[in-house]
Structure 1
Amino acid sequence: MAAVVAGSPPAPVTTAAVAAPVVLTLQLVAVRPVLNLRSDRVLAGETAPRSHAHLVHIALAVLGVLAPATG
């Protein structure tokens, strides 16, 4: 991240520095609301259908961890 702030870093460093916040934003804006709705329904006693949102959340978390590690 320091290379991004200091000047013109190599492309992989820039990609890694941008990817992690983008992935986190996707998790917070797109996936977490779906998970929260489902959990609210389950806690209210409904039988909610199975959701693949957990798998998407895990995949995005892995990407968020790997992005800086590869830069």
Structure 2
Amino acid sequence: MTASELENLLVARLVREKGGTSQTWRRALGKIIVRDVKTHPHCNWDFRLSGTDAQHAAIERVLDDVRLEHSIVAVG
């Protein structure tokens, strides 16, 4: 899975579970950070979140679930 595919997956899931628009959730997710697998072998990605505290809480719950299935992503 690529970083952009991961972002699309997260946005779709947030819209489905929490409502709102994809544009709102993309802004709240912020920028994805993809790290080298050599230094981060268990999970090589994270997001630099923006948005409200409520959005952060919703995003963190979804991120926890998604990390279990997609812990390694490729740049792109």
What's the TM-score once normalised by structure 2's chain length? Answer: 0.29
Using CA pairs under 8 Å that are at least 6 residues apart, name the structure with larger relative contact order, 1 or 2. Answer: 1
- Give the structure with the larger helix fraction: 1
- Give the structure with the larger strand fraction: 2
